[in-house]
Structure 1
Amino acid sequence: MAQLRIHLVRHGEVYNPHGILYGRMPGYHLSERGFEMAARVAEALPERDPHICEVAASPLLRAQQTAAPLAQALGLEVGVEERVIEAGNDFEGSHVTARGVLTTPEWLYMARNPLRPSWGEPYLAQALRVRAAMMSMRARLATAAAARGLEEASGVLVSHQLPIWSTRLFTEGRPLAHDPRRRQCALASLTTFSDGSGTLDTVVYEDIAGDMPLTQPGTGA
């Protein structure tokens, strides 16, 4: 049986000069630094893993733009995977600050239960939909590997910080509620899931663009 891997790649930096929490809002594209990060992914990932057979991304523009250079370098098309889209968020379109949440009654009510969280899509729902997308890709990789006699096969899904982090926490059996400041999921980073027991349960993280200074506020993911 082939050794199978799924790389969850977070998209690159987004052009967002006003610091809006953009969530699933359309039109938010990569900044110049974001395109540099996408180029870094396209250069570094095939060197680390020469067995990539499939590339897909969230339908949001920033994810598709991050996936494009990698797919081009590999001679592949970028698929669209709806299940790895950004998390739903009721604060979307706002410039959110901790002080603003505490002083705006509507926002304070939305933040009443950070364990779920109450302001958006539950962490568990995010993890389950991303895991489902991963397992679908894994099944396709297994079929391709068997047909082509491959010993290894990998796939790439370009997604967003919170869905990736929720999926990692779920996979590792850790509590899903967390401090957002402690997420280990930098822009253009790799979170790789491989077949420990046949269920993509071995996780390795690498921040391949950590030396590239950010040029935008960084809200949204």
Structure 2
Amino acid sequence: MSANITVHLMRHGEVHNPQRIVYGRLPNYHLSEKGQQMVRLSAEEFKRRADAGSRFVYLACSPLTRTQESAAPITELLGLEAHHDERVIEADNYFEGMHVDAKELATNPRHWKHLLNPLRPSWGEPYQEQVERMVGAVRDTARKAYELGGEGAEAIIVSHQLPIWLTRLSAEGKAYPHDPRTRECNLASITSFHFDELDGSQRPTLSYTEPAAPLYSGVIQLPGS
């Protein structure tokens, strides 16, 4: 049975983080002023699509502060309540709460055991575990969208860079280990998963947009964001 369901994974906006801490799952890291502008642009893009005929029926987000704040303008413009989903939270990270640079990694022996296996990775939540929870959340959200809106319905999940990127790699059938600098998942970007079927028999097709691209100049991005 054809479903024609789309689930959009939106990354949160820029976070106020002048000390450049790997904030990971820490609470109370809020969007910066520019971050608020970024997510507003993405929400306005969803509203533009809704005005053109897209049917958005469900909104979910990670329970962290920055994703809740990023979902807020979507709630305002589309009238969708944001449902918290623990499965789309940021990856666990050994370096959470630290300011980490190349010198710190090279000269502090207590970090070295956490750098031995980049394929797992040894510094945090295994890639495979992130994929399993994220794919489960995306597929459940797709089914929820179908239940609420039928064929052609769309849903939005506000999440974090690494979990979104790994979900994309999984959908593309690619290996999970990667260089973080190569991720195509910028701040407030939208990675869309288009499902023709909901039984898992087919991989979704993908599309990617950056509504907040005009605001990217000068932004500093860190792992664990």
Give TM class, smaller chain: over 0.9
**Count of paired positions:** 217
Which deviations, in whole Å up to 9, do the C-alpha atoms of 1:118-166 show, x marking residues without a partner? 01001111111011011111111111234xxxx4100000000000001
Paired amino acid for 1:179: D
2:47 paired residue number: 46
Alpha-carbon deviation of 1:70?
A: 0.6
Contact conserved, 1:13 with 1:214, CA < 8 A, in 2? no
2:132 is the alignment partner of 1:128: yes
Distance 2:217 2:84 in 1: 27
State the shift of 1:2 in Å: 3.7
Q: Tell me, what secondary structure is at the counterpart of 2:59?
A: strand
The amino acid of 2:31's aligned partner reads L
CA distance in 2, matches of 1:214, 1:79: 32
Name which of 68, 78, 81 aligns with 2:82: 78
State the Cα distance separating 1:196 from its structure 2 match. 4.1
The equivalent residue for 1:8 is: 9
Per the alignment, in what secondary structure is the counterpart of residue 43 of structure 1? helix
CA contact (8 A) 1:33 1:214 kept: no
The answer to whether the 8 Å contact 2:61/2:68 transfers is yes
Map 1:1-221; keep pairs closer than 5 Å.
1-48=2-49, 50-146=54-150, 151-198=151-198, 199=200, 201-213=204-216, 217-219=220-222, 220-221=224-225
Shift of 1:214: 5.1
Q: Alignment partner of 2:44: what SS? A: helix
- Counterpart-to-counterpart distance in 2, 1:217 and 1:202: 30
Unaligned runs of 5+ in 1: none
Partner of 2:213, secondary structure, is: coil
Deviates more, 1:190-199 or 1:166-175: 190-199
Cα distance in 2 between the residues matched to 1:156 and 1:140: 11
Instruction: State whether residues 11 and 187 of structure 1, in contact with CA within 8 Å, keep that contact through their aligned partners in structure 2.
Output: yes
* TM-score, reference length from structure 2: 0.92
Return structure 1 stretches of 4+ with deviation > 4 angstroms.
none
Q: Alpha carbons of 1:154 and 1:126: their partners in 2 closer, same or farther (altered >3 Å)?
A: same
Q: SS at 2:57's partner residue? A: strand
Q: Give the alignment's TM-score, normalised by structure 1.
A: 0.93
Task: Provide structure 2 residue ranges, at least 5 long, that are not aligned to the other structure.
Answer: none
Q: Report the alpha carbon displacement of residue 215 of structure 1 after superposing the two structures with TM.
A: 5.6
| 1:69 positional shift | 0.5
Q: What is the RMSD computed on CA atoms of the aligned residues? A: 1.5
Aligned partners of 1:5 and 1:194 also within 8 Å: yes
Q: Please say if residues 17 and 217 of structure 1, whose CA atoms lie closer than 8 Å, have aligned partners that are also in contact.
A: no
Q: What secondary structure is seen at the aligned counterpart in 2 of 1:211? A: helix
